Structure 1
Amino acid sequence: MSAKDRDSFLDSRRTLKMARSPETYIRGTTKLFYEWLDRCSQFIPEGPAVWICGDCHLGNLGALADRDGEVAVQIRDFDQTVIGNPAHDLLRLGLSLASAARDSDLPGVTTARTLEALIAGYEAASLESEASTPHLHQPKDIRKLLKHSIHRRWRNLAMESFQTKHPLLPRNKRFWPLHRAERAAVLALCKERELREIVMGFEKLTANDRKVLDAAYWIKGCSSLGRLRCAVLVRDGKHGAVSLLDIKEAVPAAAPSAFEARMPRDYAERVVAGAKALSPNLGDRVVASKVMDKAVFVREIAPQDMKIEIDRLAGHEIQAIARYLGGVVGHAHGRQMDGQDWRSWTNELERERRKNLHAPSWLWSSVVELLSIHDKAYLEHCRQFALAHH
Structure 2
Amino acid sequence: MTTPADRVDRGKAARKRVTRSAHADWLPPVDRPDPVAVLERQGRDRLPELLPIRYGRMSGSPFAFLRGAAAVMAADLAAQPNTGLTVQLCGDAHLLNFGVYASPERALLFDLNDFDETFPGPFEWDVKRLAASVAVAGRENGHPEAKVHRAVLAAVAAYRTSMRRLARLGELAVWYERIDAESLVPLLRCARRRGRAQASLTRARRRTSLQAVGKLTEVVDGRRRIVHDPPILEPAGAADEASLRKIFSDYRSTLSEERRLLLDRYRFVDAARKVVGVGSVGTRCFIVLLAGRNSDDPLFLQIKEAQKSVLEEHLPTGPYVHPGHRVVAGQRMLQAASDIFLGWMTGPQGRAFYWRQLRDMKGTADVAGMSPGGLLDYARLCGTALARAHARSGDRIAIASYLGTADTFDRAVTGFALKYADQTTTDHVALGAAVAAGVIRSAPGV
Match of 2:70 in 1: 30
Query: Within 2, Cα distance between the matches of 1:153 and 1:198?
Result: 23
1:227 aligns with 2:283: yes
1:193 to 1:255, Cα distance in 2 relative to 1, 3 A: closer
Paired amino acid for 2:337? N
Query: Within 1, Cα distance between the matches of 2:123 and 2:401?
Result: 13
Compute the displacement of 1:151 (Å): 4.4
Paired amino acid for 1:229? C
Match of 1:187 in 2: 245
Give the conservation status (yes or no) of the 8 Å contact 1:158–1:167.
Answer: no
1:112 to 1:256, Cα distance in 2 relative to 1, 3 A: farther
Give the conservation status (yes or no) of the 8 Å contact 1:62–1:307.
Answer: yes
Structure 1: which 5+ runs fail to align?
A: none
1:104 aligns with 2:141: yes
Match of 1:61 in 2: 98
Deviation digits for residues 103-148 of structure 1 (CA, Å, limit 9, x no counterpart)? 1111111121112111222133354331379848356354443333
Query: Within 1, Cα distance between the matches of 2:117 and 2:252?
Result: 23
Compute the displacement of 1:298 (Å): 0.5
* Greater relative contact order (CA < 8 Å, ≥ 6 in sequence): 2
Match of 1:95 in 2: 132
1:255 aligns with 2:311: yes
Query: Within 2, Cα distance between the matches of 1:342 and 1:137?
Result: 27
1:321 aligns with 2:378: yes
Question: With structure 1 as the length reference, what TM-score do the two structures score?
Answer: 0.85
Query: Within 2, Cα distance between the matches of 1:168 and 1:76?
Result: 28
Match of 2:111 in 1: 74
Q: Where do 1:298-309 residues align within 5 Å?
A: 298-309=355-366
Classify the secondary structure of the residue corresponding to 1:62.
Answer: strand
Classify the secondary structure of the residue corresponding to 2:419.
Answer: helix
1:8 to 1:203, Cα distance in 2 relative to 1, 3 A: closer
Classify the secondary structure of the residue corresponding to 2:110.
Answer: strand
Deviation digits for residues 325-349 of structure 1 (CA, Å, limit 9, x no counterpart)? 11111111112346633532442xx
Q: Where do 1:1-390 residues align within 5 Å?
A: 7-39=47-79, 41-42=80-81, 46=83, 48-125=85-162, 127=166, 128=173, 129-131=177-179, 135=184, 137-138=187-188, 140=194, 142-159=197-214, 161=216, 168-173=225-230, 174-192=232-250, 194=252, 197=255, 203-205=260-262, 207=264, 209-237=265-293, 241-255=297-311, 262-282=318-338, 284-292=340-348, 293-337=350-394, 340-347=397-404, 350-351=405-406, 353-354=407-408, 359-361=410-412, 363-388=413-438
Paired amino acid for 1:147? T
Give the conservation status (yes or no) of the 8 Å contact 2:152–2:417.
Answer: no
Paired amino acid for 2:301? L
Q: Give the share of equivalent positions with the same residue, in percent.
A: 20
Structure 2: which 5+ runs fail to align?
A: 1-43, 167-172
Stretch moving more, 138-147 or 222-231? 138-147
1:210 to 1:285, Cα distance in 2 relative to 1, 3 A: closer
Query: Within 1, Cα distance between the matches of 2:436 and 2:251?
Result: 49
Compute the displacement of 1:256 (Å): 5.0
Deviation digits for residues 287-320 of structure 1 (CA, Å, limit 9, x no counterpart)? 1111112110100123401222222322221111
Paired amino acid for 1:316? G
Q: Between Structure 1 and Structure 2, how many residues are aligned?
A: 373
Query: Within 1, Cα distance between the matches of 2:75 and 2:234?
Result: 34
Paired amino acid for 1:249? E
Deviation digits for residues 248-288 of structure 1 (CA, Å, limit 9, x no counterpart)? 11111112589656521111111111101101433543111
Give the conservation status (yes or no) of the 8 Å contact 2:131–2:156.
Answer: no
Paired amino acid for 2:233? F
Query: Within 2, Cα distance between the matches of 1:131 and 1:31?
Result: 29
Paired amino acid for 2:431? H
Give the conservation status (yes or no) of the 8 Å contact 2:303–2:356.
Answer: yes
Classify the secondary structure of the residue corresponding to 2:273.
Answer: strand
1:235 to 1:383, Cα distance in 2 relative to 1, 3 A: same
Question: With structure 2 as the length reference, what TM-score do the two structures score?
Answer: 0.75
Query: Within 2, Cα distance between the matches of 1:333 and 1:276?
Result: 12
Query: Within 2, Cα distance between the matches of 1:67 and 1:296?
Result: 22
